[in-house]
Structure formats: C-alpha cells, structure tokens
Chain A
Amino acid sequence: DAGVIQSPRHEVTEMGQEVTLRCKPISGHDYLFWYRQTMMRGLELLIYFNNNVPIDDSGMPEDRFSAKMPNASFSTLKIQPSEPRDSAVYFCASSFGTFHQPQHFGDGTRLSIL
C-alpha cells in the first residue's frame, strides 16, 4: 500500500520566495496533519484537517503560512514570503477514523531558506 507521499523531498530557495509543499495522504484517511521538525523545537503540529476542513490551525506560526486541502487526496502548505527561520523538515501525516487512531507520516520535505 502506498504511504503518505510528500513532494518535493528537498527544497532550497532564497529568502522572500514563495514555497509550496505538497502532500498526498493515504487513500481513505480522513485526517491530515502538517508538522514542522527542528532540532530546537522538535515536532510541532502546524495545522490539521478532517474531511478536507481545517480544524485547528493554532500551530501555524504566522500569516505567512497557509494550508489548503482542496480534496481528499491532496493538501498544500505554502509559505509566502519565506524567511531563513522557516528552514526545517516539514512532515505530512494522515490517519483514519474518528478517535485516536495512529498517524502515518510521509518522509518529509527538507526546506532550506537562504
């Protein structure tokens, strides 16, 4: 079975540029989560969706960050404009069901903002 698929795997761009990260959740999963991982702060939940609807975006650091889920098989996380402090590994995860099911993670996008 295909797992969570993220693209690109690596992104290097200059400060001020727009960055778009993409995620395809596991088919049939109705929850989708975006995380950011850094050495200093560990894994941080940015936002999550249920049935394509954003449920909690309290972890989104600033208005420069936005996320969408136009359908059940695709989500984007956008940073505009990007800053060096946004450099991190961004993970997408998905889960199935209503209550406390384990989340399955993609392999992440390693983002470097110069």
Chain B
Amino acid sequence: GQQLNQSPQSMFIQEGEDVSMNCTSSSIFNTWLWYKQEPGEGPVLLIALYKAGELTSNGRLTAQFGITRKDSFLNISASIPSDVGIYFCAGHKAGGTSYGKLTFGQGTILTVHP
C-alpha cells in the first residue's frame, strides 16, 4: 500500500490564491516527483527533484526536496481555474527491493473558484 502521507486531501480556493501541499514519509527517498491528473487522463509529470534541499520551479509551480529526504512540498502561486485537478506526490525509496518502483501519495484534490 501507499506509504506517503499527502496533505491536504482536498482544497477549495479562490482564483488568484496561492496553494501549498506536502508529502511526508517515515522512509528516505532518493527522488521526489509531483504529478497532476485531470479527469479522463493519466498523471502528468510537473516537477522532478533529485537532491536533498533542491528547489525547482516550473512556471507558477515550485517544489522542494526536503533536507531529511523524507518530505517534499509543492506550491502553486496565483492559482487559475485550469489548475483544477488531483496532484500526486511520488518518490523512489532508497535501498531495499524498491528499485525502479514509485510510491505514490493519496493525492490532493484542488478546486479553484473563479
């Protein structure tokens, strides 16, 4: 089962507001990825993080790889209606038999009111 705790589960915001969501785990991760899924489509990669402390931006999106390697956050600035969707964090766990496998969070459902 999933071993990433993603929060919040859902967010209802007004257009123009900033959004913040995060993922935590008791395990160490080698990579953190953030995906967005829209209805009827597969998850689309937004940002990939490979080093502890790394801060990466993609337009209005910013994500960070936590120093402890056990957490990551995603911020969306100045939200717009097309930001609506489900945002998933995912990561590759360090060591063990998890090579190549991604662990996913439960997802954050984002609703943006115009």
Contacts of B33 in A (CB 8 A): 102-103
CB contacts (< 8 Å) of A56 on chain B: these are 97, 100-101
Q: Which of B18-26, B42-50, B53-61 contacts A (4 or more CB under 8 A)?
A: B42-50
- B76-102 vs A, Cβ < 8 Å mask (1 yes, 0 no): 000000000000100010000100111
A-contacting residues, B31-71, CB 8 Å: 31, 33, 35, 40-45, 48, 50
Contact A45-B42, Cβ < 8 Å, known A100-B31, A100-B50, A100-B92 = no
Binds B, one of A61-69, A78-86, A104-112: A104-112
User: Out of B30, B41, B104, B106, which one reaches A100, CB within 8 Å?
Assistant: B30
Question: What's the minimum C-beta distance from A79 to chain B, rounded to whole angstroms?
Answer: 19
CB-CB under 8 A from A104, the residues of chain B are: 45
Are B42 and A107 in contact, with the CB atoms below 8 A?
yes
Q: Which chain A residues border B88 with CB–CB below 8 Å?
A: 43
Contact present for B104 and A42 (CB under 8 Å): yes
Contact B41 A108 (CB under 8 A): yes
Report which B residues bind A (CB closer than 8 A): 1-2, 30-31, 33, 35, 40-45, 48, 50, 88, 92, 97, 100-102, 104, 106-107
Beyond A55-B100, A103-B102, A105-B42, list 15 extra A-B contacts (CB 8 Å). Answer: A42-B104, A43-B2, A43-B43, A43-B88, A48-B100, A91-B43, A95-B100, A100-B30, A100-B100, A103-B33, A104-B45, A105-B43, A105-B44, A106-B42, A108-B42
